[in-house]
């Protein structure tokens, strides 16, 4: 995706000049590479190593082989957190992608006030998960919440105890998440829509294609490269769901919204079992990487 701009470097003549050139390049990158290695690369490697150890908050790590993974596989709580998170991914990722695309289509139409609508949908992007969680706890409140009131107006009775019942808590978290983050996908798809050459539509229209056919046979295929990274990034973000759950339910009721990230948080920073938490982190990483590879394969990107 990035290729060096042509020309700016003449072919390197002597080996000294070549080494000097390399040194200059790495000198420029050094400050970032220090940050990258210390706070990204090294922690990632240590994280994988830690997953094979017993490691408390103090003291030396002890190598325990695959024991942490064995514990996790046999842990009901962990398996449930995986199931809950998968359920959340299904509930949230699909609407985030589809709705993101549809919203982009909508605000791409030549409509008056579309810029205002775009800005409003985008607003939640700058709001922290803490504030979002607070606002939505109030909106989803059972007896005086806004959502139940308007659902009641539409004939949905009795009021739903959104965050209080195991069946509805995860959908409620998903609704909150969609409201909060769909704007990212909308903006990416919008940028994609603006890049589709006008001629494609013109020639199709000459052939008598209608609006739906234009969307189906031009817009969606032309946005495929964009979907190739929107889909994995959305799915990865959903697998990592944490803040909404932390603020709104703390994993409850009855563990119904206890996610993998919540498991990692509690295991590492409440019970200080660093090795076990790292193993859960590795499993999370393997799941998201596995999904990304399968999805990119399916879309014939790799």
Partner 1 sequence: MSQSWRNDSLFRDGSLNRGRLVLYAILIFVAIVWGAPFIWMFVTSIKPDTEVFRYPPTWWPEQPTLEFYTRLFDSFPMLAWFRNSLIVAVITTTLTLVTNVLAGYPLARMRFRGRRIVLLIILSTFLLPGEILLVPLFLGMVNFKLANTYFSIAVPPAANAFGVFLMTQFFLTIPVELEEAGRLDGCSRLGLLWRIFIPLSGPAIATVAIFTFVRSWNDFFWPLVISNTDATRTVPVGLAIFVGRGLSMRFGVIMASAAAATIPAVIFFLMLQRYFVRGISTTGLRG
Q: Which span (63-71, 83-91, 137-145, 166-174) binds partner 1, by CB under 8 A? A: 137-145
Residue 29: HSE in the Cβ half-sphere, 13 Å Cα cutoff: 9
Question: Which of 17, 57, 294, 298 is in the footprint of partner 1 by CB under 8 A?
Answer: 57
- Tell me how far, at minimum, the Cβ of 108 lies from partner 1, in Å: 6
Of 21-40, binders to partner 1 (CB under 8 A) are 21-22, 24-26, 28-29, 31-33, 35-36, 38-40
Of 87-106, binders to partner 1 (CB under 8 A) are 103, 106
Q: Which span (70-78, 81-89, 165-173, 275-283) binds partner 1, by CB under 8 A? A: 275-283
Q: Using the rule CB under 8 A, is 290 a contact of partner 1?
A: no
Q: How far is CA 263 from CA 8, 19, 209, in A?
A: 51, 49, 51
Of 167-226, binders to partner 1 (CB under 8 A) are 179, 181, 184, 187-188, 190-191, 193, 196, 198, 201-202, 205, 210-211, 214, 219
**DSSP for residue 39:** I
By C-beta, is 76 or 202 nearer to partner 1?
A: 202
How many residues make contact with partner 1 (CB under 8 A)?
Answer: 116
| Alpha-carbon gap, residue 291 to 1, rounded angstroms | 22
Of 151-170, binders to partner 1 (CB under 8 A) are none
Residue pair 182/121 in contact (Cβ under 8 Å)? The answer is: yes
Question: Which of 64, 82, 89, 284 is in the footprint of partner 1 by CB under 8 A?
Answer: 284
Of 223-262, binders to partner 1 (CB under 8 A) are 229-230, 232-233, 236-237, 239-240, 242-243, 246-248, 260-261
Bond before 272 cis per omega within 30 degrees: no
Q: Using the rule CB under 8 A, is 301 a contact of partner 1?
A: no
Taking alpha carbons only, the member of 65, 44, 38, 45 closest to residue 54 is 65
- The pattern of x and - marking residues 58 through 87 that bind partner 1 according to CB under 8 A reads ------------------------------
Question: Which of 64, 92, 93, 139 is in the footprint of partner 1 by CB under 8 A?
Answer: 139
- Tell me how far, at minimum, the Cβ of 200 lies from partner 1, in Å: 8
Alpha helices in 140-259 (DSSP H): 146-153, 166-195, 198-206, 211-214, 220-222, 224-239, 243-248
Q: Using the rule CB under 8 A, is 130 a contact of partner 1?
A: yes
| Alpha-carbon gap, residue 180 to 133, rounded angstroms | 10
Residue pair 133/248 in contact (Cβ under 8 Å)? The answer is: yes
Dihedral (C-alpha) 75, 81, 87, 88: value to the nearest 10 degrees? -170
By C-beta, is 29 or 294 nearer to partner 1?
A: 29
Residue pair 136/145 in contact (Cβ under 8 Å)? The answer is: no
- Tell me how far, at minimum, the Cβ of 116 lies from partner 1, in Å: 7
Cβ neighbour number for residue 288 with a 10 Å cutoff: 18
By C-beta, is 41 or 79 nearer to partner 1?
A: 41
Residues 6+ apart with CB under 8 A from 255: 77, 80, 84, 166
């Amino acid at each position: 995706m990035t290729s060096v701009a042509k020309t700016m470097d003449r072919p390197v003549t002597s080996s000294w000049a070549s080494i000097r050139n390399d040194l200059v390049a790495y000198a420029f990158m050094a400050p970032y590479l220090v940050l990258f290695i210390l706070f990204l690369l090294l922690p990632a490697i240590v994280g994988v190593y830690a997953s094979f150890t017993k490691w408390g908050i103090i003291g030396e790590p002890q190598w325990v082989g695959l024991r942490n993974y064995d514990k996790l596989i046999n842990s009901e709580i962990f398996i449930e957190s995986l199931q809950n998170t998968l359920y959340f991914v299904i509930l949230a990722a699909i609407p985030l992608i589809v709705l993101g695309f549809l919203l982009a289509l909508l605000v791409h139409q030549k409509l008056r006030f579309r810029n205002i609508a775009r800005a409003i949908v985008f607003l939640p992007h700058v709001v922290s998960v803490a504030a979002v969680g607070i606002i939505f706890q109030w909106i989803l409140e059972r007896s005086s919440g806004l959502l139940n009131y308007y659902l009641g107006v539409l004939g949905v009775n009795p009021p739903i105890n959104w965050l209080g019942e195991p069946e509805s808590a995860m959908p409620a978290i998903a609704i909150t998440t969609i409201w909060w983050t769909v704007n990212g996908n909308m903006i990416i798809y919008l940028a994609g829509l603006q890049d589709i050459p006008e001629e494609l539509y013109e020639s199709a229209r000459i052939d008598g294609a209608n609006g739906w056919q234009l969307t189906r046979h031009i817009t969606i295929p032309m946005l495929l490269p964009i979907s190739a990274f929107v889909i994995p990034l959305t799915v990865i973000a959903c697998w990592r769901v944490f803040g909404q759950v932390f603020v709104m339910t703390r994993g409850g009721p009855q563990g119904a919204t206890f996610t993998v990230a919540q498991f990692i948080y509690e295991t590492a920073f409440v019970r200080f079992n660093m090795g076990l938490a790292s193993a859960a982190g590795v499993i999370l990483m393997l799941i998201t990487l596995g999904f990304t590879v399968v999805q990119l394969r399916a879309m014939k990107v790799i």
